[in-house]
Structure 1
């Protein structure tokens, strides 16, 4: 079976999706009218959590039901996209199918949304610490009232780095692999993990399957995101690409997450700061190891530098996608040429 047509189509859709997301993002008026794919998956996850994770259930039942739940959560969005594509392909010519697929799939990437939310922290910091705390509370789970200015800036940079992997690189990578359905599969797993993949009395057993599957599907993207950050740092004055590579090799695996440590270590090394470290969740202090060699006194200026590095890393990824699109299209067209026999 020749997979080149499938791969070429997926890469073209991914390029369109990435461009649409960077230019326009997901419009707020559309959120108000129909919601967002993450919201739809969230409702499904919440419904299954209420029905399949009851207080009366034993740990064994919760563990088993968690596998059933993540199977449904991952299958329903993916299958819905496949059915939608099949229906659209009977009505639209191939060029319009690519365009429609890319525009629709752009909702599964968070490139512009991530920029806007982290940029809001940088802007709020100009008005004082209370405003910065309020802005960062929208993007982190830790207690913002316990954060000084450096803590707020570290939290924002860590969120930027981690979500560059989870919200930008990973969905686009899975889009290349499986088209919009592949991205829908990834996004559903990632959403489920954010809701039930926690080590709490309620979700420790029920959310185990979701958390482990999320670790698995994020593994390649986390490594790629670190690479994009390092390559971006190589093109920017004042960034330490060698330091980023060194910190990734030394600290990425020390992070509490098997994946988040990679982009965070690359970001810390490139900026010359320390990230992660102890933090408070609902009054409970979590003693996480530090990532990086620089100062932990991170400033608003460092957050601005991180945002610039993030933008450049997105450009690096875009260049890679365009190059891959040209290569796959050329290989596909070359394979379609008739072989002349003597």
Structure 2
């Protein structure tokens, strides 16, 4: 693909290096360009650090407010493709996101912990996405589930979602077998690898925090508090009294423990025709009952939930071959 001459040519990174050894944390905003809550939050944290209201005591802190500058400039989810799919450092970049990946992937490799800040297009409560239990499987081997769960529990939101990559891989297999969507199907399960999956593959751990709906004025607040709580959990910062609204995140009392609801994604349903439509306006984490009609195919066939659970990531604007919605059920994981 020919590179446009007016594309951004740099990735701006803010890095703070403590004089005492400690964790290496990286925080990303605007991996998708229309998800700006993380950008706003990180600019606020940078200002607090630069003004001395927040002090890095140890370790390495790297902040990337705008991870996809092309998408961000266009206020779009993607520049030339979705940066958060099949994230690898390509030998020969084919598009803008490939060029970002060649810089971003080594940056992730140099850290131990990742917090990736996102938002979503439909209404719903903030939630955290975590990886698998510790395992030595082929899809997503992992050895830091306990540390990752502790991070997820500290961020604030009560909803925690697991099962992303396994469910995505299941969707890939289904698309390969479907005559309508096979032409648009992702070529392999690794297409589901984004920032956190790449981080785990490099030996670290990380979570995705979905801070709220795009444009929700509370979403940057959720994102900012999550950054501060992560820094506190890792013992990396001290905080001045000039930040009273965040006093509970500094050297004072810890936040009140949150009772968490942990759910596991287990199925993904694709849009098969432009006429597919939902039975009503769904929001992520709306509860569904076994046998409940969630939508209809273009020819009138109902699409029903097979179990009691929740609908997740409903996308009424999904294109043919794209994920229409996910289904989740209760998880046995305890944070």
Shorter-chain TM-score bucket reads: under 0.3
Q: Report the TM-score, using the length of structure 2 for normalisation.
A: 0.26
Q: Report the TM-score, using the length of structure 1 for normalisation.
A: 0.26
Q: Which has the higher strand share?
A: 2
Q: Which has the higher helix share?
A: 1
Q: Which structure's relative contact order is higher, taking Cα pairs within 8 Å and 6+ residues apart?
A: 1
